[in-house]
Amino acid sequence: MLQLERFNNSSTFLFGIEESKIDKEKYHQKIIRCLRWAGWLCVIPAAFWLYLARTGGNNGYDGLFLGCMVLAILFGSFILTTAKSPYWLKTRNIFILAVAAIIFIAIIVFIPLYFAYTICRKIDVK
């Protein structure tokens, strides 16, 4: 039977791996999952902007609609390509991303980013 060892800093080691590292890795996986959801949810606003550009007729807003569509696609691809980066373990970075999502993209993208933000704050508290 394996014994748990205790050190002066009161961190518990289990099978040679620090318990707080296991928790941080678990939370990091949850953050990655939330970021991937947010990235894929950027397709919905992009499809909406494309629909408006196609059905808008000749009202002069086609360029604006296509620009918003490109912005949503670039935002989603940025989130998806950098989801595994340690850059997203900082609460400040996720907060900036969430604010940019709610201002420039859509509230549906903000929801999983908010969950990622709360998970990241749990890591900072521990």
Residue spans per domain, the chain: 23-125
Q: Rounded to a whole number, what is the largest CA-CA distance in the chain? A: 76
Give the model's pLDDT for residue 122. 87
CB neighbours of 4 closer than 8 A, spacing ≥ 6? 12, 13, 14
Series of mean pLDDT values for 10-residue runs along the chain (126 residues):
46 51 83 96 95 85 92 96 92 95 94 95 79
Give the model's pLDDT for residue 20. 65
What does pTM read for this prediction?
A: 0.78
Give the model's pLDDT for residue 31. 94
Per DSSP, the three-state class of 122 is: helix
Give the model's pLDDT for residue 24. 80
